[in-house]
Amino acid sequence: MKAIVTAMIASLHAMPDKDSELVDEVLYGMTVEIIRDVNDAWVSIQTAYRYEGYCQKADLLQEEALASTWQQDAQYVVCQSFADVLQQPRIQSTKLLTLVRGSSIRVMSDEAVPEEWSAVLLVSGQIGYVRTKWLQPKITAHSLSEQQFRENVVDTALSYLTVPYRWGGKSPLGIDCSGLCSMAYMLNGVYIYRDARIVEGFPIVNIEQARMQKGDLIYFPGHIALYMGDDLYVHSSLGGNEVTINSLDAKHPLYRQDLATTILAVGTLYNSQKTS
């Protein structure tokens, strides 16, 4: 059975217990698959990118037909760190809810709405209003050239700069290393594995480090970063407490020896790369 996330951020836990490890976060408007009903408060779910965990029922709307329709019709995502959905298209209006970057929403056609505002349909069926510049159409990977995709994923990752580190996090409120990389790819139309390793069945494949290009992924023991080019990479650093930039160049002031000397693998979406 499918369900839709109705909370701003729904936490996925390792066990059906709020005190258990946070393993992931699912954002408003994302659809998930209910694996099994655990008890009155919890369900086991699988995300669209095949990650599993336990979620509170209060954060979901469990309606199969609506979830299937929503998945097709919610073709916009929030591209601002935070976006208030208001009752009326004016800044003085009452807030209905706040959404974070990556939340899925349905934009409605309404010629009476000022151009700087968009009418949006919420999961609840309510109509709200969001600033138009805070929304963007969902991107499909095949709509981008390889070069544009590479540029986009780097730009997306950089939009999270200084966001604090949060284990299991995946939003501007807090994000971990694999959350950052998976969101950078997801917001550009590609689902990669949620954790810091290459897994068969997902689109990332291993390549030699010498072939690494902008937008590829660097894997370390228990850690992952996104390569920016010029020996720089962006990552959510537990040691640095936030999303930051570091270098693989020992002469660079942002060099981190502990990472540069422990690279396990480099992964790419484009396995047709040629050695330069």
Three-state secondary structure of 121-139: ECCCCCEEEEEHHHEEECC
* Strands lying side by side in the sheet with 76-78: 95-100, 82-86, 127-131, 117-121, 104-108, 76-78, 135-137
Under DSSP, the state recorded for 202 is B
Cα 62 to Cα 50, 66, 76, 143, 194: the distances in Å are 18, 9, 21, 32, 24
What's the whole-number mean pLDDT along residues 214-233?
98
Residues of the chain with CATH 3.90.1720.10: 141-268
The pLDDT value given to residue 92: 96
Q: How is the beta sheet containing 205-207 ordered, strand by strand?
A: 205-207, 265-268, 217-220, 223-229, 232-237, 242-247
Model pLDDT, residue 276: 31
pLDDT of residue 272: 61
> Model confidence at 191, in pLDDT bands (50, 70, 90)?
very high
Cβ–Cβ under 8 Å, residues 179 and 101: no
* Band (57; pLDDT cuts 50, 70, 90): very high
Range with lowest mean pLDDT among 2-16, 32-46, 103-117, 245-259: 103-117
Supply the CATH classification number for the domain 141-268: 3.90.1720.10
pLDDT recorded at residue 240: 76
Q: Which of 13, 55, 181, 223 is catalytic?
A: 223
* Percent with pLDDT over 90 in the chain: 92
Q: Is the pLDDT of residue 96 over 60?
A: yes
pLDDT of residue 28: 98
For 189-200, what is the mean pLDDT? 95
Residue 186: the pLDDT is: 97
pTM here is: 0.94
Indicate if 235 belongs to the active site.
Answer: yes
- Rounded to an integer, the average pLDDT of 157-168 is 97
Q: What is the mean pLDDT of the chain?
A: 95
Across residues 177-189, what is the average pLDDT?
A: 97
Contacts of residue 147, Cβ cutoff 8 Å, sequence gap at least 6: none
Domain 2-73: give its CATH code: 2.30.30.40
Name the band, by pLDDT with cuts 50, 70 and 90, for residue 65.
very high
* pLDDT tens-digit map of 120-144: 999 999 999 999 999 999 998 788 9
Domain 76-137 class in CATH: mainly beta
Q: Is the pLDDT of residue 237 over 50?
A: yes
Asked if 79 is an active-site residue, the reply is: no
pLDDT for position 273: 45
Please give the pLDDT value at position 239.
Answer: 77
d(CA 115, CA 272): 43
Whether 274 has a pLDDT exceeding 70, the answer reads: no
User: Which residue of the set 13, 55, 177, 181 is catalytic?
Assistant: 177
Average pLDDT over residues 173-179: 97
CA distance 50 to 133: 31
Question: Is residue 275 pLDDT above 70, yes or no?
Answer: no
What stretch(es) of the chain map to CATH 2.30.30.40? 2-73, 76-137
**177 labelled catalytic:** yes
User: Which residue out of 13, 55, 181, 235 is catalytically annotated?
Assistant: 235
